[in-house]
Structure 1
Amino acid sequence: MTNYLTREATTPDLTDEQWDRLLEVRATDPTAIARGYATRRRPEPLLSTKRTLFLVAADHPARGALASGGNPMAMADRRTLLARLVTALENPDVDGVLGTPDVIEELLLLGALEGKVVIGSMNRGGLDGATWTMDDRFTAYDAASIAACRLEGGKMLLRIDDQDVLTADTIEGCSIAVSELAALGLISMVEPLPYRFEDDGRRTLLKDAKSLARAVTVASGLGTTSAFTWLKMPACDDPEVVFGATTLPCVVLGGVPSADPERDLKDWGRALVQPTVRGLVVGRALLYPPDGDVAAAVASAAAVLHAAHSARQI
């Protein structure tokens, strides 16, 4: 039987002291989390001095999406996940993290979020593989807790399937969240993804320009104001059309990693040069690279972001 939780010697790990301390605080001092939120040194401004934003994403486990590459349990090992996140955040080009409360609080306790941008993930209810997967209801941070925890903003998933009535509830929930965050002066990072329900029961992400541009326009109009709204969109074959459908600041979504990391980098690079694109948000593709070298994968992505931004300044 395959042991999918076995850690490879070449991948990042926490020391036994770090891990034991984290478990001890979790069990004996729950108020340490509130203290961590209250004393965390926040970044200023949201965009780095390079005028770009580079975040690592770690909200997949809360939706039950644990697979990466050929390992269906890749993100199930919390110690390794946290070690990979800490390694990524140690790169000075990484501005911060996007995650659910459990992951954010563990990184707080590990001291990994000082001076970093933190975006709280809000709706994780559409579990991966569930019959109700399109019901992306809000089950994590809300606007009030994001403000109380002194985070920089909230992220929401907006999967759009014209054949699924649950999409309407998600649109309404995201609209309310955008309005509530804006009223508090906080960023909304909306991830609108068009889907199609297939005859065999699968749902396919549509990455053609027409579908993605339509999703952009729907997300842009959510809430009582778009003043604080950012969009998180996948790379695609026609980024000029997709990212040209809005004036809102956008970040490129890393998405599900392919078997070819170099191809992923090239796809991101084509999107990153678009005028509305301000940065990159990547999770599994950087945290679980095929060779296990998280630091190198993060550095390569940072170089692509820097090159794209420099090209736009010429």
Structure 2
Amino acid sequence: MSGAREQDIVRVETAVGARFPDWLRDRLLAENGFILDDTAGRTGRTWRILPVRDDGDRKRMMRTAKDIARATATARAVDVVSSAGFGEPQPGQPFPADGVVIGVGWTELERLTLLPDPVDPGRLGLTLYRQMQFAPIESLGLRLDELAPDPMAFDTGEELPTFRYHPDPVATGSLRRSPNVCSLCERPRGWEYASRPYGRGEPEHICPWCIADGSAARAGALFVDTWALDEAGIAEDIQHEVATRTPGFSTYQPEEWQSHCDDAAAFIGELDADGLRLLAPERREELGISEEAIEAVAQQEAGFAVFGFRCLHCGATLGFLDID
């Protein structure tokens, strides 16, 4: 999207009651609405920074209709707050009356917010806050200009540990670059587990080394539900390694860790169309994967995913169906 006009930025600043930080003004003047990929940063996600409304012509007006002023007005109108026990929301104001929504996350109800600078209330500060639907606002502990860092800035030069049953957790998205300090070894290792663990302990920002050496498991964290391996009669020591010392992955449905040749298989990630064709015909039939479904995957129009595994002994491709 082309850059915003100064007059439109001023109009929206007037509507929300505060001047934008210079960093945000400069970015909007260069591109009126943009993406900040913070998957390697502290938030671990991608944010869509909203535009300012541009009434220059019909096309630009439509493209910028969901702008900062509109999102802010919607958030300020919320008048109920989630209760502590997540029951019925109670009367209240979860979004500050002087807060400004500058972006959204995976849903428009996840609001990236700025508040007025305490020293200069007429200008927004750079400290970032997150407000989700009816939940109270919370600080993200970083500044707007710290989002979307260069992932290589966190490279410590350490070689990642190896995982027998998950050979490339970077490629599958289970590990991500991160500036965060591991909550277990208390060191900034440059990498962290991208999902939440199971178990009685759920430490945040777990580095892969603490998964590999069992430190995370000793802290009560588990990474894979091994019920499918148990049903297949896989040895308990193998199940233990998969559950406690193997990075898991995120799914909509409960994961079904595959097995073959009396051993757990190695996770290789979501299968593309070519990968689906490597599944044995009987397995594709069992999963309901037709040629039409494979073509839908190829066109990125499928409402499902097949997570793939490879047998460590015979090389067979395996998989289970996950429907969103």
Report the TM-score range of the alignment, normalised by the length of the smaller protein.
Answer: under 0.3
Give the TM-score, by structure 2 length: 0.24
Structure with the bigger RCO (C-alpha within 8 Å, sep 6+) is: 1
- Greater percentage in strand: 2
Q: Which has the larger radius of gyration?
A: 2
Give the TM-score, by structure 1 length: 0.24
